[in-house]
Structure 1
Amino acid sequence: MAEYERSRTMPALPEHVFDQAADVTQLDTWLPDRLHVDVDTPPAVTVHEDDSGRDLPALLRSERDQMRLEWGTRGQGSYAGWLQVAGIGSGASEVTVHLSFFEADHDPGERAVQEALDGSLRRLEDQVRMRVDNTAG
């Protein structure tokens, strides 16, 4: 089993960050470029992987009271992950994303995962900034 985790500070209230991260209509704006999520009947979703061309049945759960998203594959248990938002004062938040790969053939390797996590957190921050700027102005 391989586990990876990255965090990023974002200049917005945790509620704003979580609302953006949990908006299922906006997931493709911050997820890794090669992944696309189609919402079936929540919490059921389908994840399309561009690299393999496969559609994987998955679950996505949103716990707003805990500022937490959790996801993973359905039926096969190949991977799971979570995103946690925490307020750190002064209107800022820290977002942590954690991935666990239970099967070696699903683990793309440390470098690829870390780059994907960093890119996703950067895109999420961009989306949060646009949302906060639009709300403020």
Structure 2
Amino acid sequence: MTEYERSRTMPAQPEQVFDQAAHVDQLDAWLPAALHVQADDPPAVTVHEDHRDEDTPALLRSRPEQLRLEWGTRDRGSYAGWLQVAGLESGASEVTVHLSFFDDSHDPGGEDVQDALDASLRRLEEQVRLRADNTPG
């Protein structure tokens, strides 16, 4: 098993960050560009991976009371992950994404995964900023 984890501080309340991250119809805006999630019958989703041109049955569970998302493959059990949002005293948030690959053939490799996690967290922060900038008030 191989595990990866990255964190990023975002200048927004944890509930705002979680709401943006957990919005199933907007996951493509911050996930790695090669991954696309389609809601089936929640928590069931299908993840399309462009590089392999492959659809994978998966589960996506939102736990708003914990500000946590959890996901993983449905049938093969080769991959799982979670996203956790935590509030900071400054009013900002820390977002942590953790990935576990139980099947080495599914692991794209350390540098690729770390780069994808960093890029995803940057895109999530951009989405949170855009949403905050467009919120009336």
- Place the TM-score, normalised by the shorter chain, in its bin: over 0.9
Give the match for residue 131 of structure 2. Answer: 131
Corresponding residue SS for 1:127: helix
> Does residue 106 of structure 2 align to residue 111 of structure 1?
no
1:76 aligned counterpart, secondary structure: coil
**What amino acid is the match of 1:84?**
Q
C-alpha displacement at 1:136, in angstroms?
4.7
Instruction: Give, as a single letter, the amino acid of the residue that structure 1 aligns with 2:111.
Output: R
Tell me by how many angstroms 1:120 deviates: 0.2
Cα distance in 1 for partners of 2:40, 2:77 equals 19
Post-superposition shift, 1:4?
0.1
Could you tell me which amino acid in structure 2 is paired with residue 81 of structure 1?
G
Report the 3-state secondary structure (helix = DSSP H, G, I; strand = E; otherwise coil) of the residue aligned with 1:51: coil
Q: Hey, what's the Cα distance between the residues in 1 that align with 2:109 and 2:119? A: 16
Runs (5+) with no aligned partner, structure 1 = none
CA RMSD of aligned residues (A): 0.7
Partner of 2:58: 58
In structure 2, distance between residues paired with 1:90 and 1:109: 35
Distance 1:127 1:54 in 2: 27
TM-score of the two chains, using structure 1 as the length reference: 0.98
Aligned to 1:69: 69
Q: What TM-score does the superposition give when structure 2 sets the normalisation length?
A: 0.98
Aligned residues: 137
Corresponding position of 2:41 = 41
Which sections of structure 2, spanning at least 5 residues, go unmatched?
Answer: none
Please give the secondary structure, in 2, of the residue aligned with 1:98: strand
